[in-house]
Structure 1
Amino acid sequence: MLSLMLRSMRNRLTSVSLTLTVIAISVALFIGVELVRTQAKQSFANTISGTDLVVGARSGNINLLLYSVFRLGNPTNNIGYDTYERLSQSRGVAWTIPLALGDSHRGYRVVGTNQDYFRHYQYGRQQSLTLAQGQPFNDLFDVVLGAEVANKLGYRLGDHIVLSHGAGGSTSFSEHDDMPFSVTGILAPTGTPVDRSLHVSLEAIEAIHLGWQGGTRTQGVDLAQIDQFDLTPKTLTAFLVGLESKFQLLNVQRAINTNKSEPLSAVLPGMALAELWTLLDQAEKALAIVAAFVVAVGLTGMLTTLLASLNERRREMAILRAMGAGPRHVFLLLWSEAALLALLGTVLGYLLAQLTIVALAPLALAQYGLVLSMGLPTGSVAWMMVAVQIAGSLAGLVPAWRAYRHTLADGLTQRL
């Protein structure tokens, strides 16, 4: 039966190939949408862990989380460094990580921070940052690179780099070329925006902006006299907070949100992410519905092709009957072909979706900070593949039943 089915499909190679193509493309679209959705959520969720609050200037929860943690977008305002120092010493606060954003290097964000960043920042399942090479910054013009920055730009320990003013693209016309930095450390890969960041001290951020006003350099600064300047930061973009006890979370958040010296927002990372997914929920459902309709169209195309070819194969079926094949064999032959087409189309669709994900992964990582990767079908993807197989098998019952009911005489009769 299997040999006969494969030979029959080989004789109808063109129609079979078109049917497989339609099913594969429709399945790939559905799987691609689902993989991007689930892996995007996982990528965002793995970016930060162990942090209780993200604090910045008064803003929306989602906007604050995006620019401070995911390096997407720009802050609405900065916060005073004196406010940060006072809040960092508040009751219940175990540690804080200051963040000063705004500069870049060849399209990658520069993060001004302190040593607490390497001590307390965690990602994934509370994994701490580790250095693959070198050590954290100690001198004023030391820089620690994320894994992707070092890999894509080919930097090694001891190389000198120049930072650019503003969070621009890969090319900038406002550079801090009078104060180059030396690479002293390269972080191990994390699969988070940390990989696409350059880390310097807060004092270094102040130093490179000496003599700058309104985004342009107004006067030069002699590096030999840099120690004469007060490099204490004036403002920060945001800071991360870790608490001594989770029971103090709401009290500390309320105290920050009602701060009277300047308007601030304290955001729970998990709650902000949940708000983001709620905002995108309708779009996700719309994409899933469209993808499901595409799969349905693919299966309908398979059914149409099988029914259209049935009239052409009546003589073939009748000859099989004349050679001893019973109605059950004819039924099983046509039903097995439909089931096999559904199976092959589903597998090819899955492989096509995975190859597309791999091809688009670098672009998604560079443009949107999303980590996309291949993997075995799980969850909704696995259930969808099973559903397509079942639907394809059920669709094959229609032409199989029609062939079952054809009589031997009807098949052998010439129709003019």
Structure 2
Amino acid sequence: MTAIIRLALQSLANRKTTALLTLLTVAISVTLLLGVERVRTQAKSSFANTISGTDLIVGSRSGQVNLLLYSVFRIGNATNNIDWQSYQEIANHRSVRWAIPISLGDSHKGFRVVGTTGAYFEHFRYGQKQPLEFNEGNKFNTLFETVIGSEVAKKLNYKIGDEIIIAHGISDQSFNRHDNLPFKIVGVLAPTGTPVDSSVHVSLEAIEAIHVGWESGANLGASPSAEVLKQQQFEPKQITAFMVGLNSKIQTFALQRYINTYPKEPLSAIMPGIALHELWGMMSIAEQALLAVSGFVVIAGLLGMLTSLLTSLNERRREMAILRAMGAKPSHIFFLLTSEAAALTAVGILLGTTLLYSMLFFAQPLIQEHFGLLISITPLTSHELMLLCLVQLAGMVVGLVPAIRAYQHSLSDGMTIKV
């Protein structure tokens, strides 16, 4: 057997060009397989880690997916607002360690404006309970200051000290802008790969201040100047939703039941992990599509190898016949060709894996910067190793086709081939 394996390697060495092309085909298919698999799993992980460390999200009575969409992903609108007094009562509940109020409804050039408090920058977590960090500046301290996400800064080319105008509602038109009340950028958040990157953050008091003189989305009169508004004290009347962190996980269900049966107004409290799982289930078609792409990529690579082996087999029929004439058994010929296929697949897997890690090393920062997706450079997972084992097995199975054909060729057929 050792002699046949050595013969297989020497045969491949004599057909360098064909062997290299076959190796390249297998390597690229393995790189794409692992790459798509990494993107699929990391995208799912990133989606699940959009919010972390938050025990409950509270909003007006609605379905948990809808509440998750507008409170975390800034998609859509709430069915109703929450009274500020209700928020304070729940935030001061003995089970609550911290609470982050958020107010939605305004925008800036297509980016949602989030009204909140300093607790947002202190307690909000994403990923593996990672805190928000600043690329530049710090959180807002005065009425007309704002902190923007990394995507806002990059797309609009903003920097610390620039002034921006907030528009009433989601559409940013000249007639619904708060033109006389510009906000000064005092902080730019570091990229998170979450909707935070595409958000403009201001204080809840600022949300109240800019709507003085507005009613039902219309400016009913001249709005006071910024100097006049800075002299006044503002307290929110309503908020859109709020996030809650508890003193103990054991208290989660008890507080959720208390909020869901809150007597003063209809509220819903959801656990973000469960809601994220439900939302991902609704988007499972995308995951299945990526899995299908992975499968077709490997099939294409293996078919390329099969084509190469079958093509070379027709050119090697005299070689096979000479080996038979020198005493090689049909089983030896069979093992020779299956060994070549196994060796090509194994080296292709090794080369493809190396190529993947090389590409990740250089492309990881660019992918995170442009797409907000962090693809970790970690050792192969058990699932990925299983996929590679399946590719190796499939490569050996593919090698059976030319091996069986060579096994069936007779000695006289091989010796009578015209050159």
Partners of 1:180 and 1:281 lie apart in 2 by: 42
Residue by residue over 1:181-210, the C-alpha shift from the partner in whole angstroms, topping out at 9 and shown as x without a partner, is: 112223334333323322110011122233
- Of the three residues 165, 168, 187, the one matched with 2:168 is 165
Matches within 5 A, 1:56-205: 56-168=59-171, 172-173=173-174, 174-205=176-207
Matches within 5 A, 1:329-408: 330-331=333-334, 333-343=336-346, 346=349, 361=367, 365=371, 371-373=373-375, 375-376=377-378, 377-408=380-411
Shift of 1:238: 0.6
Moved more, 111-120 or 39-48: 39-48
Give yes or no for contact 1:20–1:344 (8 Å, CA) kept in 2: no
Q: 1:335 to 1:276 in 2, by over 3 A?
A: same
Partners of 2:391 and 2:144 lie apart in 1 by: 58
The code of the aligned residue for 1:74 comes to N
Moved more, 372-381 or 37-46: 372-381
Q: Secondary structure at the match of 2:122?
A: helix
Partner residue, 1:310: 313
Structure 2 alignment gaps of length 5 or more: 1-6
Partner residue, 1:412: 415
Q: Secondary structure at the match of 1:103?
A: strand
Partner residue, 1:247: 250
Moved more, 173-182 or 324-333: 324-333
Partners of 1:167 and 1:363 lie apart in 2 by: 26
Partner residue, 1:43: 46
Q: Secondary structure at the match of 1:100?
A: strand
Q: 1:224 to 1:363 in 2, by over 3 A?
A: closer
Shift of 1:220: 3.1
Q: Secondary structure at the match of 1:50?
A: coil
Q: TM-score, normalised by structure 1?
A: 0.82
Partner residue, 2:4: none
Q: 1:38 to 1:56 in 2, by over 3 A?
A: same
Partners of 2:133 and 2:374 lie apart in 1 by: 22
Give yes or no for contact 1:99–1:111 (8 Å, CA) kept in 2: yes
Partner residue, 2:234: 231
Q: Does 1:276 align with 2:279?
A: yes
Structure 1 alignment gaps of length 5 or more: none
Q: Does 1:211 align with 2:218?
A: no
Residue by residue over 1:64-108, the C-alpha shift from the partner in whole angstroms, topping out at 9 and shown as x without a partner, is: 122212333333332222221222222322221100122233333
Shift of 1:161: 2.0
Shift of 1:224: 3.0
Q: Secondary structure at the match of 1:247?
A: helix
Give yes or no for contact 1:364–1:372 (8 Å, CA) kept in 2: no
Q: 1:188 to 1:255 in 2, by over 3 A?
A: same
Partners of 1:359 and 1:218 lie apart in 2 by: 49
The code of the aligned residue for 2:228 comes to Q
Shift of 1:58: 1.3
Residue by residue over 1:105-137, the C-alpha shift from the partner in whole angstroms, topping out at 9 and shown as x without a partner, is: 333322110111122222233333333433221
Partner residue, 2:3: none
The code of the aligned residue for 1:10 comes to T
Partners of 1:182 and 1:398 lie apart in 2 by: 70
Residue by residue over 1:369-408, the C-alpha shift from the partner in whole angstroms, topping out at 9 and shown as x without a partner, is: x625263542423321221122102321332243245444
Give yes or no for contact 1:307–1:399 (8 Å, CA) kept in 2: yes
Q: How many residues align?
A: 406
Shift of 1:216: 4.4
The code of the aligned residue for 2:180 comes to D
Give yes or no for contact 1:98–1:240 (8 Å, CA) kept in 2: yes
Partners of 1:6 and 1:235 lie apart in 2 by: 76
Q: 1:147 to 1:291 in 2, by over 3 A?
A: closer
Give yes or no for contact 2:334–2:404 (8 Å, CA) kept in 1: yes
Q: Secondary structure at the match of 1:396?
A: helix
Shift of 1:258: 0.9
Q: Secondary structure at the match of 1:265?
A: strand
